[in-house]
Structure 1
Amino acid sequence: MHSRPRLLLTIASGVFPLAATATDDVRALLRQLGDQVAELKQHANQADARIRELETRLAAEQQKNRQLTTQASPAANGVVAVSASPAANPTEAKPETKPPVTLGDTKGTFKIPGTDTSLGFGGFVKLDVNESSVSAPSFGDQYLSISNIPVSHRGEDSQLAFNARESRFWFKSFTPSAWGDINTYLELDLYGAAASYTPRLRHAYGSFGNFLAGQTWTTFLNELAAPDTLDNAGPVGLAKFRQPLVRWTQPFKFAGESLDLQLAAESPNSTLWTGSGWSPALGTLTYDNLTTTGDDRYPDLIAKLVYKPDWGNLSLAAMGRQIRNANNTSGAAREAWGGGVSLAGKINVFELDNIRFTLNYGNAIGRYSSVNRLEDAALDSAGNLHLVNVYSAVTAYQHWWSNTWRSSFAYGFEQADQPDFVAATMTRQAQSVHANLLWSPLPQATLGIEYLYGSRELIDGRNGNISRAMFSAKYNF
């Protein structure tokens, strides 16, 4: 009986200390939780205070913005503003608008807003400084003019001339159409008058598809074969001039090769030798023994075949034209048909180097040689026309020393088989030499020096020559 109470006392004495220990742990945990709750409450109070502070600042900023808006509104200045859309949301994004000017279809052009026409303009400013061995009249001190080379040294011993007449401005446009691209081109320089910088029309033409009409290089010329010279006229013997014309260009393939056939009708202008000085028959004063009659009835007809392989460019041109004079001492119109042929090209050789050449022959190509300084025909005392055979040749080699340095060496020659009755003062033969060094550090700038020599021989054997050193600075825009 006494063993059970003793056992219960033993168990109770072990359990109560354990219970007491568990109670202490719970109390410690509760105190810890209470401290954490107090700390969280403190953080919450701090956050509430910060929120209230931010709300106060926001309200102040909104009030400030409302005051500024009220001051800037039309109503604040006595102007009543009418809302186009009262329900519109001021924060709604506006639709994207197209820029007023966009790039054109070709490099360097822009489009007229609302159209498909691309416009472009450009040109260059060029200064030429020429030191000549003899003085030459008119434009002879500014570019090589064969007829202005003094004979028997009638000019000064030397001459220094500055000019910027070759500076140019051009304007072009491109418009796509169902008939092909409609293109226009207009270009001016400042060679209009010897005594002033009067603008002169160089090119003015338009084209659509294969058809071109306006003023540009004659079809008889292969402009790619013209040497790269600082002198504006270039070597003797080039048909380097522009005139009004209409032209059709037809591309085609032959034996797998691409070719162009060009057919042109160009402005006629019969150039005659009619004697020296005053011409009673024509009632005009002849210039350098040459005159243009103004009696033409048919255009100059030219056909040219152009071959464009990878290694260069070749062309073969043929021309037929009528030379006519209606106002002469015989009282009857005199006329004769003549023509000429031209073979020209540019052949690439080593890297960027190339050879250029032009060969011309004909009995009616006087005005197509050396810028209209030889006659197409000579008029005898009876008023009869005698066509004049003319030969000319130009050859050049262009060498590239580097991507920015280049040189051209060019030679030109021409000769006219003058009739026996033509005055001894007429030009029979002429030639020229050009050699230059050009530096283009940038695509927009070229500086260069050039030496040229020109000579002419008259029918009576007298001759004259000119040598010239040139410096040129050219800046494109």
Structure 2
Amino acid sequence: MNVKTLTQTTDLQVTTVRPTMQRTLMMSMIALSMGGMSVAAQAQTQQKNEIEQLKQEVQALRSLVEQQKVQNTQTATAIANVQRSAAAAPANPVLKTAKGAEFNLYGNVRLDASYQVEGTSRDLPYNHINAVALKGNSENSDRLRSTLSATRLGLDFKTQAAEQEVKGKIEVDFLGGSNFDNLRIRHAYLNYGNWLMGQTWSNFAIPDYMPETIDALAFVGGAVKRTPQVRYTAKFNPQTNLVVAAEDPKDSTVSQRLPALTARLNHQFTDSLNVSARAMGHEKRINSAEEMAWGVGLGAKYDVVPGTTLKADYYHVKGDSSFVSFTNSGVVARTDGSLVQSEFDSIMVGVTQKFSDKLHGTLGYGYMSFEEDKNYIAALADKTKANKELWQAWANVFYSPTKPLSFGLEYVYGEREAFGAAPNGSKTGEDNRLNVVAIYNF
């Protein structure tokens, strides 16, 4: 084969091979393109699936949040309803007067009995340590006395006046009169804002710091005085307030023309310690003679430990016998018409122990000492009726088997020393008694 023939043969082969290679290359590119398209389609499909899944999760989360909101709203509504119900539910059934004022009725039936072991001159079931018989002089020992005179009935009122609430109280018992057997007003007052007008506990001689007793008239060093008054309370902060008042002490020993002015500062140091500082001033007038009576007081209540409470109350008073109980006459007129004044210090202290929800008891002591003013003593018509010293000690226990019922037992012993001696020479008298009480509260 010559060269020309070989060349032609080769060209023919190359021409034949090129179309085949081109077709193969094209098919490969098409396959690659289709493969790429398939991968892209798969990626797009997967992305769509993920987006759809994410949408479903977001929707589920949104539903959960909405459900939680509904539950929270329902819970808040339920709590508000409970709070409204609790606030609306009164401690006692609420009644209304014809004028629309709400009121609650409360009170108790109380039976007191006293066995006088030694020394009284009056037929009374309650304390009168300042007037017990001197030894050997008209003593009435080994006597039982009982009464229901301390039975009590009260009404608490409340009404709305403009934007201010007006509250009031009326409370009576049967301890009025010289024999303590007549109906009397204990409290009758109204509260309007920071003002109080009416009769209630004196702003000076308050019973808040007296240790607990069964005796309805309390013991030496205490005061159970209720006076007609107008008073105002200024609150400095939740722990401190000042109460000022103009009071009518109803002192029958003088010709009264001005009210007594009293002030009381209360402060709570801690949840367990409260104190009260008080002051009093009052003009005493007999005929044309005048003297100024004054007094100060300090009380404290301290919860030593849960269930154990200590109370103490102190007074120093000159020229007054209308606030603190069991005192000598505050002023006495001399033959020349001038006035002389009595002056005394008194203290009462006691501890109350709670043994259980049904049982508690108190130990207490009271003491009163009068200044030995010779001019005052000389002006007395009967020196055996004025005292140099008084003291009493007592112990009691209260038992409440159920909520409305309470029973108490108390022993008290005390003595008085008079300025003057009785015909037999005695200057002392004693009070030796056993008290019991049964109370039904309603």
Q: Place the TM-score, normalised by the shorter chain, in its bin.
A: 0.7 to 0.9
CA deviation map 1:359-399 (0-9, x unaligned) = 1002133322225x421122211111122211110001001
Structure 1 residues 191 and 115: CA distance shift in structure 2, 3 A:
closer
Partner Cα distance (1:113, 1:246) in 2? 26
Partner Cα distance (2:343, 2:98) in 1? 56
Contact 1:369 1:392 in 2 (8 A): no
Instruction: Please show how residues 49-448 of structure 1 align to structure 2 within 5 Å.
Output: 106-112=90-96, 117-134=101-118, 136-138=120-122, 141-153=124-136, 154-178=138-162, 180-193=164-177, 197-253=181-237, 258-270=239-251, 292-293=253-254, 295-308=255-268, 309-326=270-287, 333-371=288-326, 373-420=327-374, 421-423=378-380, 424-425=383-384, 426-448=386-408
Contact 2:223 2:325 in 1 (8 A): yes
Contact 2:320 2:331 in 1 (8 A): no
CA deviation map 1:85-111 (0-9, x unaligned) = xxxxxxxxxxxxxxxxxx977421414
> Structure 1 length normalisation: TM-score?
0.68
Partner Cα distance (1:299, 1:113) in 2? 34
Partner Cα distance (2:265, 2:437) in 1? 35
Contact 2:372 2:388 in 1 (8 A): yes
Partner Cα distance (2:284, 2:104) in 1? 40
Partner Cα distance (1:163, 1:397) in 2? 28
Partner Cα distance (1:195, 1:335) in 2? 32
Partner Cα distance (2:250, 2:96) in 1? 40
SS of residue in 2 equivalent to 1:166: coil
Partner Cα distance (1:184, 1:225) in 2? 24
Partner Cα distance (2:300, 2:281) in 1? 21
Partner Cα distance (2:279, 2:418) in 1? 29
CA deviation map 1:277-307 (0-9, x unaligned) = xxxxxxxxxxxxxx613x2121100011011
Contact 1:109 1:118 in 2 (8 A): no
**Structure 1 equivalent of residue 434 of structure 2:** 469
**Structure 2 equivalent of residue 7 of structure 1:** none
> Structure 2 length normalisation: TM-score?
0.73
- Of all paired residues, the percent bearing the same amino acid is 25
**Structure 1 equivalent of residue 81 of structure 2:** none
Contact 1:449 1:472 in 2 (8 A): yes
Partner Cα distance (1:226, 1:192) in 2? 22
SS of residue in 2 equivalent to 1:435: strand
SS of residue in 2 equivalent to 1:362: strand
SS of residue in 2 equivalent to 1:147: helix
Partner Cα distance (1:310, 1:408) in 2? 21
Partner Cα distance (2:372, 2:364) in 1? 26
Structure 2 letter corresponding to 1:363: K
- What is the number of equivalent residue pairs in this alignment? 343
Partner Cα distance (1:199, 1:248) in 2? 29
Deviation at 1:238, TM superposition (A): 1.4
Partner Cα distance (2:168, 2:434) in 1? 37
Structure 1 residues 312 and 176: CA distance shift in structure 2, 3 A:
farther
CA deviation map 1:66-101 (0-9, x unaligned) = xxxxxxxxxxxxxxxxxxxxxxxxxxxxxxxxxxxx
Deviation at 1:128, TM superposition (A): 1.4
SS of residue in 2 equivalent to 1:223: coil
Structure 1 residues 105 and 263: CA distance shift in structure 2, 3 A:
farther
Which structure 1 residue ranges, 5 or more long, are not aligned?
A: 1-102, 271-290, 327-332
Structure 1 residues 113 and 325: CA distance shift in structure 2, 3 A:
closer
Contact 1:357 1:396 in 2 (8 A): yes
Partner Cα distance (2:215, 2:387) in 1? 21
Structure 2 letter corresponding to 1:171: L
Structure 1 residues 430 and 179: CA distance shift in structure 2, 3 A:
farther
CA RMSD of aligned residues (A): 2.2
Which structure 2 residue ranges, 5 or more long, are not aligned?
A: 1-86, 422-426
Structure 2 letter corresponding to 1:414: M
Contact 1:106 1:118 in 2 (8 A): no
